[in-house]
């Protein structure tokens, strides 16, 4: 059951991520009161009540209150997005974003596990914690998307397994890429167009 919940939460996190693709990876986590605090509190309370009622009315109410509090706190979490002129390398930014994911996953997952597990059972609390932690982590970080995409492309031979090392070498030693703030760009527009043309021609075959 835990595995199914984790997969479901990951899918939901991908569809409703509060970090937009154009915003880029995050530099950390902050908490800002917004409408999602209320949404998270309501959703947590309903979920906690539904999970806790089978264990008794008292447990249902206690679980609803605890889960509502966890949902409210999670609803206010937000990623700190760097500006494009930030003095940090793309590799360092990716490391910070990965830390954001792990922090969100662990903290929110642990809180949900305690909130649900106290009023229900240890197994149900663990499943809820894994699911909720994955949902919050994938919603507040882009690292997991990078990791998944890199794995799929590398497995097909489309990119190197050590992609960031490859890009850093292309920038520092080969002169193919340049750094523009926190991202890499092609140094020569003609090369970019040439590679794009080859890629489009390959897809048409």
Instruction: Express each pLDDT in 116-152 by its tens digit.
Output: 988 888 888 888 888 888 888 887 788 888 888 899 9
| Dist CA 72 CA 12 (whole Å) | 18
Contact between residue 18 and residue 139 where contact means Cβ atoms under 8 Å apart: yes
Place of tokens 């489309």: 158
**Residue 131 contacts residue 6 (beta carbons within 8 Å):** yes
How far is residue 175's CA from residue 151's CA, in Å, rounded to a whole number?
26
CB 84 within 8 A of CB 27: no
Q: In angstroms, rounded to a whole number, what is the distance separating the alpha carbons of residues 15 and 113? A: 23
Indicate the pLDDT class of residue 81, thresholds 50, 70 and 90: low
Q: What pLDDT band is residue 14 in, cutting at 50, 70 and 90?
A: low
* pLDDT confidence bin for 18, thresholds 50/70/90: low
Indicate the pTM of the whole model.
0.74
What average pLDDT is seen over the chain?
80
């Amino acid at each position: 059951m835990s595995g199914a919940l984790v997969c479901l939460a990951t899918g939901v996190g991908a569809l409703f991520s509060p970090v937009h693709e154009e915003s880029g990876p995050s530099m950390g986590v902050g908490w800002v009161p917004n409408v999602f605090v209320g949404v998270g509190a309501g959703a947590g309370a309903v979920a906690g009540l539904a999970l806790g009622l089978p264990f008794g009315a008292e447990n249902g109410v206690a679980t609803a209150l605890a889960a509502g509090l966890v949902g409210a706190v999670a609803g206010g979490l937000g990623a700190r997005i760097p500006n494009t002129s930030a003095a940090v390398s793309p590799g360092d930014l990716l490391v910070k974003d990965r830390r954001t994911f792990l922090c969100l996953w662990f903290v929110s997952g642990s809180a949900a596990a305690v909130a649900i597990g106290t009023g229900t059972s240890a197994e149900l609390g663990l499943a809820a914690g894994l699911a909720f932690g994955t949902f919050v982590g994938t919603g507040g970080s882009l690292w997991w998307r990078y990791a998944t995409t890199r794995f799929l492309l590398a497995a097909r031979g489309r990119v190197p397994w050590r992609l960031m090392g490859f890009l850093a070498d292309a920038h520092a030693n080969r002169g193919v890429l340049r750094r523009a703030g926190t991202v890499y760009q092609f140094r020569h527009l003609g090369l970019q167009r040439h590679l794009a043309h080859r890629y489009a021609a390959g897809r048409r075959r």
